[in-house]
Chain A
């Protein structure tokens, strides 16, 4: 069974600074996908970024990048140049590929961007 651990319940960052949200995962399956989702106070779940276990390069999407360290089983999200609109809950999740897929979520990190 897969497991996701997010050890930071809350984080603060100043506007325009970069922030790293931690995520570690556990699975014995070699083929999996890692995801980050953003949940603002309005409640919707917004897909941010995806990393496949066989991808050689770290995924990037605009200001979001995923720092994938396979040996350490970590998939940290880096947000560059934080904006006030980045204040939200952030969830790390994973799924096993090639099977009946389900997202297993971590407990989330609440990010607050300050002036």
Chain B
């Protein structure tokens, strides 16, 4: 019954590795997002997709690549992980652009 789910919940990996985080929503929403929450709890948008089309791409390194195979899924692939990538990554979805967004449980990424 989970509305927005993410896997994995925790991810510990070494510098230089490539990893993916998956997100799925069963709310029937058209728009999905990735946010990054840093160690000071600050949340910042990374990407947004509307019906599988990329509509927001904030200043994010090219090592981060989102993919939306369908409007219910939005995955985040990260290449060549760096220490500074350690953060909590949240997926979210909304029915309308500008409407309330519902967040997944977050993925805590630790790069060692």
Contact = CB atoms under 8 A, between A and B. Distances in A.
Interface of A: 32-33, 35, 37, 39, 43-47, 50, 89, 91, 93, 95-105, 107-108
A44 B45 CA distance: 16
Nearest to A46: B103
Given A44-B106, A91-B43, A107-B41, A101 B48 contact: yes
A33 B100 CA distance: 9
Nearest to B98: A97
B94 A44 contact: no
B105 A33 contact: no
Given A45-B90, A102-B45, A97 B101 contact: no
Given A43-B105, A47-B102, A95-B98, A100 B56 contact: yes
Determine chain B's interface SS by DSSP, over half rule. Answer: strand
Contacts of B48: 100-102
Determine chain A's interface SS by DSSP, over half rule. Answer: strand
Given A44-B103, A100-B55, A105 B43 contact: yes
Nearest to B50: A100
B97 interface: yes
A47 B100 CA distance: 7
B37 to A, nearest CB: 9
B31 interface: yes
A2 to B, nearest CB: 11
8 contacts: A43-B108, A44-B105, A45-B92, A50-B99, A101-B97, A101-B98, A102-B45, A107-B40
B33 A108 contact: no
Contacts of B101: 35, 47, 103
Closest 9 CB pairs between A and B? A97-B98, A45-B103, A102-B45, A100-B55, A101-B97, A105-B43, A101-B98, A50-B100, A100-B56
Interface in B42-56: 42-45, 48, 50, 55-56
B88 interface: yes
Nearest to B42: A107
A8 to B, nearest CB: 14
A2 B32 CA distance: 20
